[in-house]
Structure 1
Amino acid sequence: MRRGVKGAVIGGVCAVVLGGAGYGAYNFVSALNGDGGTGGGGPAVVKSGPPSGTEVKETAAKFFAAWEKGDASTAAGYTDFPEAARELLTAYGGDAHITKVHITPGTATGTTVPFTVRATVSYEGKSRPLGYESRLDVVRGKTSYRPLVDWQPSVVHPRLQKGDTLTTGESSTAPIEAVDRDGKVLTPQKYPSLGPILDELRKRYGDKTGGRAGVELVIRHGGAGAGETDGSGEAGSGAADTTLLTLAKGRPGKLHTTLSASAQAAAEAAVEKYADSSLVAVKPSTGEILAVANHRDDGFDAALLGERPPGSTMKIISAAALIDNGLTTANGPAPCPPSAVWQSQTFQNLKGLTPDEHATLSDSFARSCNTAFIKFADEVEVDTLTKEAQERFGLGQNNWQIGVPSFDGRVPAAGGPDTAAALIGQGQVQMSPLNMASVTATATTGTFRQPVIVPLGLDHREPAQARGLSPSTVQQLRAMMNRTATSGTAAGVMSGLSGNIGAKTGSAEADGQAKSDSWFTGYRGDVAAAAMVQDGGHGIDAAGPIVASVLRNAG
């Protein structure tokens, strides 16, 4: 039957029976295709639209019952991706050695059913109870029209993601007791943001700290994400295992980190106030990472691995490039017109910014005038910013070895409008909070010190190198950042912070977002911090308060 004819027939039937098709209506697609019947010669009637409350309850009950019995094939048959479901549910009872499963459903909300799992993990004579909460959604099958469990790995356990599996046995690495720079123990219970980092540190250094492996139920994660490295410039072999339950304790080895418990506590408290926020704090005089914090529902470590346009915080690098290439100086001309056009693309300033045709670079930097930087697009080469970022700030060469995976920044030599856009942190420029904290550290000391979270000597890592900045450029950058913090766009956020301070605000547009990302980087004494909040708005709206709070409390 031709597609157009089939549509006409279905439409005609619906018009006669119901006067139109909608949610909760019936269709005859299955009968017309010949893939179903009533046994009495009449057309099969198949429901469409969202599953009803009864269907949700019955489908969840059948799925739970099969899961409890360890019947992976039957349970998987109640999902919309049975092959993937069967594989994980088989591992649940097999490789993970999880038995005596009892599932208690909660009250459904629409098509969502929360539930509690109580089970036992047994391995070579060792047993421990396992308990957790999860949820599932029931959807209408796209071709079968049956109510089915919307398959996600998180149905089986809320911490499972695509590509993950469960296994129980002797752990692949010995446990570690990670301590901060003052010997204080760091745990994911006290510092939730450190959970993935501590897992990775264990994976890398468990065999170097004298510990002994135990027996554990773990999540074995899939391959490394894009842009992720293993700290040596090579692609990582996958994220570290996540321990869910310990059946027999190993002996942890002590791992010294550069982190500061007080700075980490301040960072955790600061990001908690804003969704999708991330921060990194470093010690400029050494490059040591003091704190890493994320507040995200997806668990992604955007602080170290994020790849986002940094907006006007990029003007630190751009200003350095203009100075180093003799195009202007802090007190030299950098006019701020109301708009600027480069290669047919028009760039605007933030709403309400008064033009100033007589502005200096310091003026335009402190006020975050976009057009002042865009006007230099005719004078810079396509690779000017790329060279500045790589040779002076150590960015974009995929060779940082901080001790865990990191994204090392990206400033490509892009032509066209992107040459101008890069000057204000847009276009193809990508950074993480780690990158921008490092940029601020380099700007304030003149020396690029590759950030580290584990001392280099532990495994004899060779850090990335860059030649850094001249004393004159450093003096000018510090003066401009101090002016920004005391009388420019960051003054309100940095108010009340004493001592040697500086900052740069930023906001960056990202595709598909109604609001811009909020960026902010700043320093106080020997602490530099940078934060990013997705959909956070202007730099002073979200990222700024996070950085200021950490600078205020990290000492």
Structure 2
Amino acid sequence: MRSGARTAIVGGVFAVVAGGVGYGAYNVWTGISGGASGTTTARAEGTREAGSGPVTAEEVERTAKDFLAAWAEGDDAAASALTDDASTAAAAVRSFREEAHVSKAVITPGRAVGAKVPFTVDATVAYEGRTAKLSYASELTVVRGLTTGVPLVDWRSAVIHPKLPEDGTLRTGKAPNPPVQAVDHAGRELTKEKYPSLGPVLDQLREKYGAKAGGTPGVETWIESSSSGEGTAGPTLLTLSKGVPGKLRTTLDADVQAAAERAVRRYDESSVVAIKPSTGEIRAVANHRDGDWNAAFLGKQAPGSTMKIVTAAMMLDHGLVSGPGDGVACPATVTWEGVTFHNLDDFEITGGTFRDSFRRSCNTAFIKAVKPLNDKGVAGTALGDTARTYFGIGEVWNTGIPSVDGSVPESTGAETAASYIGQGKVTMNALNVASIAATAKNGSFRQPVIVERALDDRRPATARPLPASVAGALRDMMHATATGGTAQQAMSGLGTNDKGAKTGSAEVDHQGTSNSWFAGYADDLAAAAVVQSGGHGGDAAGPLVASVLKAR
């Protein structure tokens, strides 16, 4: 046992209390093997026994224990020597002490699962006379060094904290941005506690607009990344002293947001967005996914047959059909440049109209009828042109927080046919698809926003209004879909006749079940949802959208 250390049995595991090492008072609970011996340097040297093949259970336990002990004692050199990226790890351990101002920590390893070792950190952060507790769980992985053959911790920033990006660090001090009191368009407060899905959104709003909202900063521990720039705070992990929040009005609606929060809880890996068609104001955004990723705004997935709203507009605009009542062939299959496309269960419609093919989501009708564009040489570009010209897809959207724009790139061969039914290279997220539905309802694109553009003079994306005949045809067919087509069951409970919808299911490579998509509107509210591996659009995503629209 090293000089100045003592051991005790606490809750069935040894607690090793360091004395006179690093920044003192650091504890490590060695729950892996139940003890510790020697100095951190001696322990580091003791693990450096070369081997070959996968790391053994003993190597995993010893390496993890010694690394966590060195980290807990604030021994940068010893901790980093036990990793496969010594310079980066040393800086991270040092930053934990000096930049995050952690004065004390208890690190408790859990039972190893293969090469992975989970652990918890109970830290005390101290800054200018203020202290607070920071507790969290993380994990590390032990690997064999490629050149040395010795077992090492596979270094990742997330070892220090699970939310740290690779270019991130923990900092404690006066917050770069004052806190904000976010409110909806009617002045009702929006908090992470009441609306959990808004957590990352509220963080982003504070990061961008906190300094403009009129508050004063407090003392906090936060995540800072070099990509966001020095002095720009990311997510706050701990508040040592509260600042004075400034009020920030958003376009969200508390009632619609609450409905969206309830809706996504029904399915893992789901997202929903609601927009006011007449203005583009975002009324709700919700996700039910691991982590804080705002997939509703940042996702990039094939939208399936919800894309037929845009394809229908393209067909109408190019004169391939003149209106919903035109006769359009819907065979069971159709071939495009040697590739055969099918309808669901190979259904077909005999003597049907364009409206019938839309409301029943006939894939072949949206491919076969477009073949004349090949003769004009625009088959691979017409869809993207329509999406950009009338729906703002492909322009740069400045919503107020980070978002990813939809993409309808130029295509060739069978990918062109696939794009017409929302497959191929076409990518969207719930925000993009909700905006497409909103544009169809309003007849003109209004770029979605979550805060007023006047806050930072953002330039909105623009698009030409849909020709009146095209807009009317889209509403006609979406209404038929909501009242007598694939969206009928999901939309049946809405108490309005002013409603429309489009279902979609998108096939994904190596995924047994399609993603479920649904876009719809009721009165002056439009919404779209996606459910990963949810199957048919009307089965999973449809009820989510309908429940949000009911809150209008």
Secondary structure, aligned partner of 1:548: helix
Secondary structure, aligned partner of 1:321: helix
> Are 1:222 and 1:238, in contact at CA under 8 Å, matched by a contact in 2?
no
CA shift in 2, pair 1:263/1:403, >3 Å: same
Q: Aligned equivalents of 1:165 and 1:313: distance in 2? A: 41
**Aligned counterpart in structure 1 of residue 190 of structure 2, from 181, 186, 193:** 186
CA shift in 2, pair 1:239/1:298, >3 Å: farther
**Aligned counterpart in structure 2 of residue 49 of structure 1, from 46, 54, 79:** 54
> Are 1:309 and 1:428, in contact at CA under 8 Å, matched by a contact in 2?
yes
Secondary structure, aligned partner of 2:190: coil
Aligned to 2:37: none
What are the within-5 Å matches in structure 2 for residues 47-86 of structure 1? 48-52=53-57, 54-86=58-90
Secondary structure, aligned partner of 1:547: helix
What are the within-5 Å matches in structure 2 for residues 128-277 of structure 1? 128-223=132-227, 241-277=234-270
Q: Aligned equivalents of 2:197 and 2:145: distance in 1? A: 38
What are the within-5 Å matches in structure 2 for residues 49-448 of structure 1? 49-52=54-57, 54-223=58-227, 241-328=234-321, 329-350=323-344, 352-380=345-373, 381=378, 382-398=380-396, 400-448=397-445
Percent of pairs identical after alignment? 53
CA shift in 2, pair 1:82/1:515, >3 Å: farther
> Are 1:418 and 1:428, in contact at CA under 8 Å, matched by a contact in 2?
yes
Give how far 1:133 is off: 2.3
> Are 1:377 and 1:419, in contact at CA under 8 Å, matched by a contact in 2?
no
Deviations 1:338-392 (A, max 9, x none): 1111122221112x24212422111111111111111133223232212211111
1:496 partner amino acid: G
TM-score, L = length of structure 1: 0.85
Q: Aligned equivalents of 1:444 and 1:179: distance in 2? A: 27
> Are 1:115 and 1:135, in contact at CA under 8 Å, matched by a contact in 2?
yes
Q: Are positions 1:505 and 2:520 aligned together?
A: no
Give how far 1:60 is off: 2.1
> Are 2:315 and 2:370, in contact at CA under 8 Å, matched by a contact in 1?
no
Q: Are positions 1:540 and 2:544 aligned together?
A: no
Give how far 1:161 is off: 2.6
Give how far 1:108 is off: 3.8
Aligned to 1:14: none
Give how far 1:239 is off: 8.6
How big is the alpha-carbon RMSD for the aligned residues of Structure 1 and Structure 2? 2.2
Give how far 1:142 is off: 4.3
Q: Aligned equivalents of 1:222 and 1:372: distance in 2? A: 50
Secondary structure, aligned partner of 1:481: helix
Bigger mean CA offset, 435-444 vs 324-333: 324-333
CA shift in 2, pair 1:285/1:64, >3 Å: same
Give how far 1:109 is off: 4.0
Q: Aligned equivalents of 2:230 and 2:317: distance in 1? A: 40
Q: Aligned equivalents of 1:488 and 1:238: distance in 2? A: 53
CA shift in 2, pair 1:419/1:440, >3 Å: same
Give how far 1:50 is off: 4.6
Q: Aligned equivalents of 2:416 and 2:231: distance in 1? A: 35
Give how far 1:430 is off: 1.4
Q: Aligned equivalents of 2:267 and 2:294: distance in 1? A: 15
Aligned to 1:524: 522
> Are 2:399 and 2:447, in contact at CA under 8 Å, matched by a contact in 1?
yes
TM-score, L = length of structure 2: 0.85
Aligned to 1:4: none
Q: Aligned equivalents of 2:167 and 2:50: distance in 1? A: 37
Deviations 1:50-95 (A, max 9, x none): 522x433322221111011111221122233333322322211121
Give how far 1:331 is off: 0.9
What are the within-5 Å matches in structure 2 for residues 454-465 of structure 1? 454-465=451-462
> Are 1:51 and 1:140, in contact at CA under 8 Å, matched by a contact in 2?
no
Secondary structure, aligned partner of 1:247: strand
2:451 partner amino acid: V
Give the number of aligned pairs.
497
1:190 partner amino acid: K
Aligned to 1:233: none
Bigger mean CA offset, 515-524 vs 148-157: 148-157
Aligned to 2:547: 549
CA shift in 2, pair 1:182/1:157, >3 Å: same
> Are 1:334 and 1:373, in contact at CA under 8 Å, matched by a contact in 2?
no
Deviations 1:142-183 (A, max 9, x none): 444434333332221122232221112222222111111221
Secondary structure, aligned partner of 1:128: strand
1:540 partner amino acid: G
Q: Aligned equivalents of 2:418 and 2:85: distance in 1? A: 43
Q: Are positions 1:494 and 2:491 aligned together?
A: yes
Identify unmatched segments of 5+ residues in structure 1: 1-43, 225-235
Q: Aligned equivalents of 2:101 and 2:251: distance in 1? A: 38
Q: Aligned equivalents of 2:122 and 2:260: distance in 1? A: 35
> Are 1:51 and 1:138, in contact at CA under 8 Å, matched by a contact in 2?
no
Bigger mean CA offset, 126-135 vs 166-175: 126-135
CA shift in 2, pair 1:449/1:255, >3 Å: same
1:215 partner amino acid: V
1:453 partner amino acid: I
2:351 partner amino acid: H
